[in-house]
Structure 1
Amino acid sequence: MKYINNLSAALSLLLLVACNNAGNTSNTSATDSTSSSTEVAKANTGNGEVSFAEEAFDFGQITDGEVVDHTFKFKNTGTEPVIISRVSTSCGCTTPEYTSTPVAPNGEGEVKVRFDSHGQSGKQQKIITVVSNAKNNIQTIQLKGEVS
């Protein structure tokens, strides 16, 4: 039940901060929410633990059309390997890439994100949701800043 509540909270957060652009293809939609619940339940089997070095990155002020790239690094502070099963973003303007191989205990992985500010304006907050087999199987990190 705890994991379903976590999933519901994460999905609600994504809906609240979604931008006007069409969503990234890895975003969760209403039609695949059942498969997402199953995926999260299956993913939560390990004793790995994802610890991000930073949970938010402020890119400051940029002009419309600039692209921001940032890499969020994480460490597996648990006792079993961590496998990231999915990374989704709150907006189609933000695309993720991530470590797809298992991250051993004390090993490091990364989530790279690219934010294309074309057509965006004002304050920005892009939520990136990371789903893995770790104890803390749903983690969120964010990009924020302002586009002028």
Structure 2
Amino acid sequence: MKKIFFLVVMFVLSVGYASAQSQAEIKFDTTTHDFGTFSENNPIVSCVFTFTNTGDAPLVIHQAVASCGCTVPDYTKEPIQPGKKGSVKVTYNGTGKYPGHFKKSITLRTNAKTEMMRLYIEGEMTPKDAK
């Protein structure tokens, strides 16, 4: 009886260990984007961050949270298979914001080896009457 119990415990532990070995990994082409200078006349700008799942398990983005309500992230919702690409589109809306330099962050929570990542956007919004 002890042998059977021991074998069952070893089997469960080995299955758990084997399943823990396959894990997703997220690799971004770049984690920062500079919009440069843009006018308050056209205060909405967007960029796309592209990433690849370099791990050996499906990658899932659970959450994408911006540091400010003026920044909205939109990301690939379905699981990204190993070797495949996904994206995070970030839109900054400077309407009603003071012109000048800004820097915002977007925090991603995933099932990857690195569970939390940050993306950054920045730029300079010039006043409406600036030439």
Same fold per superposition (TM over 0.5): yes
1:60 aligns with 2:36: yes
Question: Is 1:112 the counterpart of 2:89 in the alignment?
Answer: yes
Distance in 1, Cα, partners of 2:80 & 2:70: 28
What is aligned with 1:47?
A: 23
Structure index of larger Rg: 2
Q: Give TM-score scaled by structure 2 length.
A: 0.75
Match in the other structure for 1:88: 65
Bigger strand fraction: 2
CA distance in 1, matches of 2:33, 2:96: 21
Paired-residue identity, %: 36
Is 1:129 equivalent to 2:101 in the alignment?
Answer: no
Give the gaps of 5 or more residues in structure 2.
1-20, 127-131
CA RMSD of aligned residues (A): 1.5
CA 1:60–1:147: 2 relative to 1, 3 Å? same
Aligned positions, number: 104
Which whole-Å CA distance do the structure 2 matches of 1:103 and 1:93 have between them? 28
State the SS of the aligned residue for 2:113. coil
| Separation in 2, partners of 1:94, 1:46 | 34
Higher helix share: 1
Q: Deviations over 1:86-124 (max 9, x none)?
A: 000011001111000000111110001110111222111
CA distance in 1 between partners of 2:73 and 2:34 (Å): 17
- The runs of at least 4 consecutive aligned structure 1 residues that moved more than 3 Å come to none
TM-score normalised by structure 1 residue count = 0.67
